[in-house]
Chain A
Amino acid sequence: MTGLFVRSRVPHEAARDGDSGRRVGAFLGGGPTSFDRADAMERWLGVGFDVQTVFEPWDADPGGVTDQFDRLTAIWDAGRTPLVTWEAYTPTPAATPVDILQRILDGVYDEYVDRWGRALAEWVAGPDGTLGTDDDRQLLLRPLHEPNGDWYPWAPAASGAEPALYARVWRRLHRRVNQAGATGDRVDWIWAVNHVDAGDVPAESLFPGDDVVDLLGVDGFNWGATRAWSEWQPPAAVFGEMLARVRSVSQRPVCIPEFGCTTATLGGLDPQRKGKWLWEAFSHFTDQDVVLAAYFDVEKETDWQVFGGSCGANTIRIDGTRYQTYPGFRRGVRTFSASG
């Protein structure tokens, strides 16, 4: 019932009319529970996520590729654009050869890459199988991420490969995927580096080129006092320098495909400080003209989670389930989405 004096039933939908062009997303873990969490989190936030991040290995099993794209369909059907972190694990870290870059360049994985590219083109074309129609889908693709670290086998600092090899492999992947099937402008390739170089390979030396990159990404985390090598860092200290550096190699828009913050400080767990950090992070992203920010909402190395984690500042109960939350995150999401 809408009419004189009576408001529309979903007020936040009207608010979305003034689209800022900024997008918010999150990695919420894998499996079906991630959808329940996403739904509950959206109810908390009062806005929907634009993007849902997933991590997908290179699974040579044909059924594995089908399963991957079925998961992406479920995300798309839930109203979110998948951000696929395409990890060149074959398919596990332990099974991945240390010279994976060279092997990719040598064509060892061409069959898999081509098959994946064809599946991607089919997926993007939507249910009618025709690109350029109303049911086309969209995807953000982040292959070989954080190459300036030393923890992934595709990172030259980890494998000892030449930095130029990384760029050549990227370009080869880009070419083969596009040759496998047309995706038009429905797939954005994200070149995402870690916020600091870990090792002796500077991020700039790994840039594949403007013609094969649509978005520049910087992953960054505030590890606080969780590690011997870490300390509490404000968002500007985490992201500021690397955002400037990636901008020095390209004028492409920048995004934050992964970010997170712990509660661990030298004085103990401090949810209030984390909440403030989250709010400041979104403010920093706005100042830096970041077009997408996707939170890493999983308790992996520490209590990164902002919704339903082991720690939090406030408690919300949704359908009987209690979730710890951080008001700073909600405030940041709303402000970031609305600012333009």
Chain B
Amino acid sequence: MGAFDPDGGVALGQAVGPAEWMTLQPEVLLSFVLWHLALLYAIPVVFWDYEIAVLTLRNRQNRRDATADVAWELDAVQARIVTIDNADVVQQTVDLLPDELSDVVVVAEAPIAVDGAKVLVVPPEFECAATNKGRAVEWARRTYSTDKEYVLYLDEDTDASSLTELGSNADIIQFRERPVRTVGLLPYLSEIHRIGFNVEQRSFPFFQIPFYAWGGGIAIRSSLEDAVTWDTPTIVEDSVFTWRAVLEHGATLEVADVHLANQAPPSVRAMIRQRRRWLTGTRQRHDMLPFHYRLLYDARDLGWALSTISPILWVASAASFVGLVDVSLLPVFFPEAYMILTLALLGHVYAWSVLGLSIYRPSVGVWVLLLVFTPFVVTVHSAGALYGAIRPAKTFVVTEKVVSAAGGDLGRRGVADGVVDASEADDRAASAALEDRA
């Protein structure tokens, strides 16, 4: 322990301050940076472990309690699909809905024709506190009431054909997601990795406040929707709605173990923008959360953002540990402890990849690719968070979705043609376009 070489500079016991140590000893500075990077990332990792522990304990308790089997049939659901004007993609989404789900509404920014659904066009003159998607769904809520118990919100490209019921009586039912590859391989691998991490979602019902509401779809009790409304400014509507519902109305949440498919971002750039929006959106509104939640959020966000640069360091530790290389990154301060910690962190990110792969069950090639490139995938996956932390997104940029060339097999194959990536436009252009529509 404390393998600091006194011959390299300041002798042990010599009276110097920390600043002088760092100036005189670059190794000390490096050690500080390394330890801080590792510890910051350790916070979300340890909390993830805590979530899984809570989930495991609660599941055991629930099994002991033999809780009742409660489910809503699909006649209790109105599906709402939100789009700007992507009629072809929406039509495919509507076609894939189960037949029992007969009440289908499309909320669009422009007149489009969709068979099997009622199309509601948001009038340009409509104004409220919400913007973008929030504004559209708020208008639909105000003008098109429903007698259905639940409103199920789907993205324009969601494949909900696996939906057979709502297996819960919670106020908010979050469906898990299964992003499918469109074009880019790296975003696809990143999504598999993310879905592995997102197993934490299953513990959210046991927490005072869910950390986010990202998923394949979200069903909201219509009475709760009317009580909470979407009328608040945010670029992460579902998460902020869920926070308000829980904080102001004591709403209950369940995470349905049903994966609804939607498209993975088509490019790394699009994915970075998406992550940037998520991080920015939650940080913009997390002031509504209790203090201890804000603290945890800050730590999670920081850890996530910094994991853009951390994996290479963990790999270096691992390589050094197994004797592949002699990486002298650990000159001072508990190198063994640092080694153990970074190996544990690296183990976690591999565990998330394996979890994601076990959910996806892709081809052997994808298994190999993700396992080989997991550290790099983590870096790419986190780049948007780092971007968002440094330069928060100012507006909601929509990544347009594509129609499956197979005409109905959305979600089960890659699509090479016709990808339109709104990330080609910069924030200002996208904002202007949205304002024009308004």
Seen from chain A, the residues whose Cβ lies within 8 Å of a Cβ on chain B are 1, 4-7, 9, 11-12, 14-15, 43-44, 46, 271-272, 275-276, 313-320, 322, 325-328, 330-331, 334-335
Are B54 and A327 in contact, CB atoms less than 8 angstroms apart? no
Given the interface pairs A46-B169, A327-B147, the reply to whether A317 lies near B206 with Cβ below 8 Å is: no
Could you say which residues of chain B place their CB within 8 Å of the CB of A15? Answer: 250
Return A339 CB to nearest CB of chain B, in Å. 12
Q: Is the interface of B mostly helix, strand, loop or mixed?
A: mixed
Could you say which residues of chain B place their CB within 8 Å of the CB of A4? Answer: 292
Could you say which residues of chain A place their CB within 8 Å of the CB of B99? Answer: none
> How distant is the Cα of A12 from the Cα of B148 in the complex, in angstroms?
22
Return A249 CB to nearest CB of chain B, in Å. 36
Return A336 CB to nearest CB of chain B, in Å. 12
Task: Identify 7 new A-B residue pairs, CB closer than 8 A, beyond the known A314-B76, A317-B69, A328-B147.
Answer: A4-B292, A5-B209, A15-B250, A43-B169, A44-B169, A314-B149, A322-B73
Question: How many A-B contacts are there with CB distance less than 8 Å?
Answer: 89
Q: Which residues between 21 and 42 of chain B lie within 8 Å of chain A, taking CB atoms?
A: none
User: When the two chains form the complex, which single residue of A1, A14, A325, A331 contacts B250, counting CB atoms closer than 8 Å?
Assistant: A14
Are B292 and A316 in contact, CB atoms less than 8 angstroms apart? no
Are B293 and A5 in contact, CB atoms less than 8 angstroms apart? yes
- CB closest residue in chain A, given B222: A327
Give 7 A-B contacts (CB < 8 Å), ordered by A residue. Answer: A12-B252, A46-B252, A315-B76, A318-B68, A327-B76, A330-B149, A331-B222
Are B54 and A316 in contact, CB atoms less than 8 angstroms apart? no
Seen from chain B, the residues whose Cβ lies within 8 Å of a Cβ on chain A are 54, 57-58, 61, 68-73, 75-76, 147-149, 165, 169, 206-209, 222-223, 250, 252, 292-293, 296
> How distant is the Cα of A335 from the Cα of B249 in the complex, in angstroms?
11
> How distant is the Cα of A231 from the Cα of B147 in the complex, in angstroms?
22
- Sorted nearest first, the 9 A-B pairs with minimum C-beta distance are A314-B76, A331-B223, A315-B73, A7-B208, A272-B147, A327-B149, A314-B149, A15-B250, A275-B147
- CB closest residue in chain B, given A321: B69
User: When the two chains form the complex, which single residue of B54, B73, B252 contacts A317, counting CB atoms closer than 8 Å?
Assistant: B73
Are A5 and B296 in contact, CB atoms less than 8 angstroms apart? yes
Given the interface pairs A316-B72, A318-B69, A331-B223, the reply to whether A5 lies near B147 with Cβ below 8 Å is: no
> How distant is the Cα of A272 from the Cα of B76 in the complex, in angstroms?
12
Return A254 CB to nearest CB of chain B, in Å. 25
Could you say which residues of chain A place their CB within 8 Å of the CB of B165? Answer: 317
> How distant is the Cα of A4 from the Cα of B57 in the complex, in angstroms?
15
> How distant is the Cα of A337 from the Cα of B208 in the complex, in angstroms?
23
Could you say which residues of chain B place their CB within 8 Å of the CB of A313? Answer: 75-76, 147-148
Return B76 CB to nearest CB of chain A, in Å. 3
- CB closest residue in chain B, given A335: B223
Given the interface pairs A5-B208, A322-B73, the reply to whether A12 lies near B250 with Cβ below 8 Å is: yes
Return B229 CB to nearest CB of chain A, in Å. 15
